Chains A and B, each alone.
Chain A
């Protein structure tokens, strides 16, 4: 079977809510062991879950393993989706739980809590940032965040999820989501524009 090039699917554009009814229909077909529906769901979610799980666990091979484990749960237990949340919330919550289990087997780097107290490594405002520089700084800053902080950032900015949905996925209070985002943004903004942009 031909592999669909990943570039064909823009994960942000296939995000719910516009895709929600279609995804619910896919789940209904998967309950009846429709392999084609499952393949469609797999291709829809692979890019999204890949990105998400790379923030939960660091090693790409483990992220792939967790991704497959997650989708096998969907295949085997699709009837457990009760329609009371979005399909994406249900699937991401499964992925997150499995990611947490896998993370315990990894050597998770300890969050650098003092990073924000030190002078930023980013060039000052006198230097014009080019895009590659910004990207590099952001990736570096994301790397210094804890998995939980990275996950909240990714679910908010890339997957365009609300804080309540994120709290459901991560099984935590909404204030925890907001707090994680608050700390993460402070770090990331320093990476974006240097110390003078850190107005917080």
Chain B
């Protein structure tokens, strides 16, 4: 880092320091007037001004590459929108959880244990048979959040997913909810069926498919 030097010791130095912005036309009126007054009487600064103009043109003309990639930014925006919606849905779920009957509390540990078995069974289902090297598969996007009763057995949980063509995307969340991916066209019907099940405490849509 170069040391700070005093550039205002003399009017000549002060004006000389302003020449880059005089050339660029970005000085305010007072500065510009001071520079122009000094230039009238200073041959050195007149010569410096000519060189300054040339330097400005040459530096500004230096090449600068880099092409815009709007699609890359769009992907980031889409990912963020999904996360934001999911986060909002979880916040809503937290309210539902607070209103849930107290018997749910004791069963958190039991359901976590259930998840270990359930997750092991669900993961292979969510993996595609092969990957094209140049086109990684699109990640599953959750569009339903569901909470099962804590005493729900693993095979009932699995059956609830299989019969509704649902895939596990995430969970259990802090609210002990699971995020499911279901066929968009069937989501409403699937929600109805899930809510009708005795082992389901709550089933709500996440609007991840909507365009922000």
Contact = CB atoms under 8 A, between A and B. Distances in A.
Contacts of A43: 68, 70
Interface of A: 1, 3-4, 6, 11-12, 33, 35, 39, 42-43, 46-47, 50-51, 54, 60, 63-64, 68, 71-72, 75-76, 111, 113, 134-135, 138-139, 142, 146, 148-149, 153-154, 156-158, 160-163, 165, 175-176, 178-183, 185, 188-189, 192-193, 197, 199
A139 B62 contact: yes
How big is chain B's contact interface, by range? 35 or more
Given A72-B73, A179-B7, A188-B59, A149 B51 contact: no
A68 B73 CA distance: 7
B105 interface: no
Contacts of B47: 199
Nearest to A9: B68
Contacts of A181: 17, 20
B20 A46 contact: no
Given A42-B68, A113-B2, A178 B7 contact: yes
Contacts of B66: 6, 46-47, 50-51, 54, 60, 63-64
B56 to A, nearest CB: 5
Contacts of A154: 59
Contacts of B98: none
A160 B25 CA distance: 8
Given A42-B73, A163-B21, A176 B4 contact: yes
A135 B56 CA distance: 12
A76 B80 contact: yes
B76 interface: yes
Among the interface residues B25, B65, B68, B76, which one has the most CB atoms of the partner chain A within 10 A? B68
Contacts of A189: 51, 55
10 contacts: A3-B68, A3-B70, A50-B66, A54-B64, A64-B66, A68-B76, A149-B2, A183-B2, A192-B51, A192-B58
B207 interface: no
B60 interface: yes
Interface string B30-66: 0000000000000010011001101110111110111
Contacts of A6: 66-68
A138 to B, nearest CB: 6
